[in-house]
Amino acid sequence: MSLVLGPLLRHVDADSATVWVETASAAAVVVRAGPASGSARTFAVHGHHYALVEVTGLEPGSATAYVVEVDGEQVWPEPGSAHPPSRIHTLQPGRALRLAYGSCRVSAPHDEATHARFGVDALRTYGLHLADGHEAAPDLLLLLGDQVYADETSEAMRAFISARRDPDSPPGWELRDYEEYAEIYRLAWSDPATRWLLSTVPSAMIFDDHDIRDDWNISASWRRDMWATDWWRNRIVGGLGAYWVHQHLGNLGAASRAEDPLWQQVVAHEGPDELDLSAALDELVERADKQPTTFRWSFARQVDDQVRLVVVDSRAARVFEDERRSMVDDEEMDWLDRQLRGDVDHLLIATSLPFLLSPGLHHVEAAVEVVNGGLLGRHGRRVGEWLRRALDIEHWAAFQEGFVQVGSMVRDVAAGRRGRAPATITFLSGDVHHSYLVEAEPAPDGPDLQGPGTGAASRILQAVCSPMRNPLPRAVRAGVRVAARGRARPTGRMLGRRVPPSPLHWRMTHGPWFENLLATLEAGPEGLRLTWSTGVVVDGDHERPQWQQVARVDV
């Protein structure tokens, strides 16, 4: 079969769409959608062949079936497929935007034994639900991290690893290089229902730690420990390179993609042979890891006058400079400052790590960070670093500088200081393996609140959906429920002046829920509708779970 993986429908706007594929060899790829079409030659990365095809000339608000041809042979839809034709659904200005989102999904079989361990795969079940025609496809599928688990591999992935190297040598059963990343993406996206879903619903994606390794960039000492090994370079270069190919490129529209230096090489290539990007990609991503300011993984999309989506990299642009820690570096913060503006009805801020944790967890992370900062001296720092890694103390609360900066920007947007205040400002996140809704308000004792217009005209929300498939251990759930109580008022009273005043106060209004979930958000003139749903096995049919709503909130 000449089509190895895909097609994935990626960036779609009112009149164009981007389709991603992996092919078995160098080839010419054509996508035909009614009278519209697009073509591209493949480029190579470490022995794999990829094409990103832009289809132009589509009608706004249309739904057009498409086919994929490789070297003149139609390879999609597959003959005898049980699924409906894949369609490109273009955006229509003024129409309410509907997106689905979630995070944290292990790749494993869909049978009774695996369901007992990992639960039902919410993403796959949603694909079955849409394929059966129970509801219209959303405008966008937003995947907020841990699309693959590079450090917790499945039996199928372990079989692949053991066939090519000795797993008794580091990094053991974890992924080692680009070749293994290519295989784990194939496993994650090849199930027929999931593959069809990704072929017919436009997707945007951002990484989290397990896409590379648990606790990725949690601290400066963690980075030193990783780079001291003899296997980490291949891991981080392979992981970020595979991310650039499989996830990042398709996040971008044509104008943004044209600014990417590697994509410029793909477009400019005219020779008879396939362009091999392996060395150039390795160089780019290694430099991006060591010098984050040289490359931006974050991206933003202005859907129309109603909605702006800003997707923030909360992993690769972190700052570890002497005593200074921030979730994003200065260049990234300047970029974010330009994106967080009003003059839209709904501002969506997607970040894999929840900006607003449940109140108890936020206080714990802020306290551990203060210990790491020297509150209890040198020995306390050692204990603090151990706690940081053992308890995954790495969310926005553990990077107070960035937390206060972003919180202040959001507060100002809500107050109408950055253009017309949106009706809602909503953080969309995953990572924490439980789902919930938080509502926030400007803190009356927060920083820089003496000027006019400090009251919020916008509703400020944090809507978390995690996991799609990787449930939180039951022993941990009771602690999460306790942490969800009360109100977050992180003003530093318990820790003297070591925790800066927060620009926001918040409380959890709905949840936590612990099922494998996928959420949907509909943003229209009347406000937001948020829904969390799960897959449920009915009458023992583990192959085709049913889609069941867990919660719905109208804002």
pLDDT of 363: 84
Q: What is the pLDDT of residues 146-169, one digit of tens each?
A: 999 999 999 999 999 999 999 999
Q: DSSP label at 248? A: I
Cα 317 to Cα 247, 328, 353, 555: the distances in Å are 17, 5, 13, 33
pLDDT of 376: 67
Cα separation, 85 vs 228, in Å, equals: 50
Q: What is the pLDDT of residues 217-261, one digit of tens each?
A: 999 999 999 999 999 999 999 999 999 999 999 999 999 999 999
Residue 91: closest CA among 257, 301, 384, 246: 301
Which residues have C-beta within 8 Å of that of residue 286, sequence separation ≥ 6?
233, 236, 237, 240
> Is the backbone peptide bond immediately before 60 cis, with ω within 30 degrees of 0?
no
Cα separation, 439 vs 507, in Å, equals: 6
pLDDT of 375: 64
pLDDT of 487: 64
Q: What is the sign of the dihedral through the CA atoms of 428, 433, 436 and 439? A: negative
Cα separation, 463 vs 523, in Å, equals: 13
Which residues have C-beta within 8 Å of that of residue 19, sequence separation ≥ 6?
6, 7, 8, 9, 10, 31, 38, 52, 53, 55, 66, 68
Question: Could you tell me where the beta strands, DSSP code E, fall in 212-345?
Answer: 275-276, 299-302, 307-312, 319-321, 324-326
SS3 assignment for 476-535? HHHHHHHHCCCEECCCCCCCCCCCCCCCEEEEEEEEEECCCCEEEEEEECCEEEEEEEEE
Residue 325: closest CA among 247, 220, 243: 220
Cα separation, 283 vs 280, in Å, equals: 5
List, run by run, the mean pLDDT of 10-residue segments along the chain (555 residues): 95 97 98 97 98 97 97 95 96 93 96 96 98 95 97 97 97 98 98 98 98 95 95 98 98 95 94 95 97 96 91 95 86 97 97 93 85 70 83 90 95 96 97 96 64 70 98 90 70 55 91 97 93 97 97 96
pLDDT of 385: 83
